[in-house]
Amino acid sequence: MRLSAQIIQSAEQRTNPLGEREIILRSLAIPAIEHLAVSRDQFDTMDLSNNHLQRVENFPKMERLATLYLGGNEINFVDGKNLKKNVPNLSTLILTSNGVKGWNVISDLGEGCSKLEFLSLVGNPITRRQHYRLYTIHKIPTLKVLDFQKVKQSERERAQRLALSAAGAAMEADCRLEARAAAAATHDDGAVASKIYNVDNETNTFEPGEGKNAEESFATQFTLEEKAKIREMVANAASAEEIDRIESLVKKGIFPGNVDNSSIPPPPPPPPPSEDQDNGASKRQKTD
């Protein structure tokens, strides 16, 4: 379900136990962050937990927002520049149970969240990497609590020593490589979508979950695994009609593999032979 202006305006709003104004946008199968400007920066806390978000990006100017709940999504990318420019007062970020695995995400958080004090990355692949906690403490020096554990002064000192060591230099090199790989993957998704789905941007009718075109739906409505499968379907399509069918479903936000192939209409029969062809065949038979 796309995060429309109507959904935001009709979402639950409350004063939470901390006395903060909070908007609840959880468990709505939201694939991408959009249209948040309609909230008019009226909230201290936003709950976007348990959706299908893969990227933390596209925030409008929200200077009041201080707490962001993003647990239970599929997030593997953070736009630090967007957060730095438009969410400058973010102090609490919950990213529990997501797909964060690169040092570049930690670096982006450090550059984009200058007031971040409370961060949770519990349940992300990156927590299993060596020196994860020390690296995170070094890159985000404002942190007071990481993964629900208080950051100690001794940890800050160890993190500083790690940053000056050969191991720290190797981690920084890995961070740069992972940042380039993430940028290339983002570019490739857009480029592949443009090549595969070269369709008109105009739509005649509105359908729930439908993007303006197949390219937009491909970029926002599907997981990385589903995108790979869609590319494979297009590459292995047996006819132009099959490709048209895949594009039509993708445009509607429907994964083609979830639709029974038996619903595809059979190809039209070949046209009957013309009268001239019949006469020519008869003459050949007589000659033989």
Please state, in angstroms and rounded to a whole number, the distance separating the CA atoms of residues 210 and 252.
4
Rounded CA-CA distance 86/120 in Å is: 21
Rounded Cα gap, residues 26 and 111, in angstroms: 27
Alpha-carbon Rg for the chain, nearest whole angstrom, is 26
- Check: CB of residue 112 under 8 Å from CB of residue 93: no
pLDDT at 161: 95
Q: Which of 57, 53, 83, 84 is nearest to 71 (CA)?
A: 53
CA–CA separation, 141 vs 111, rounded Å? Answer: 10
**What does pTM read for this prediction?**
0.66
Question: Which amino acid is residue 241, in one-letter code?
Answer: E
Q: What is the mean pLDDT of residues 81-91?
A: 96
Amino acid type, 283: K
* 147-198 pLDDT per residue, tens: 999 999 999 999 999 999 989 999 999 999 999 988 887 765 555 444 444 4
Return mean pLDDT, the chain.
Answer: 82
pLDDT one-digit tens code per residue, 35-68: 999 999 999 999 999 999 999 999 999 999 999 9
Residue 222's pLDDT band, with cuts at 50, 70 and 90, is confident
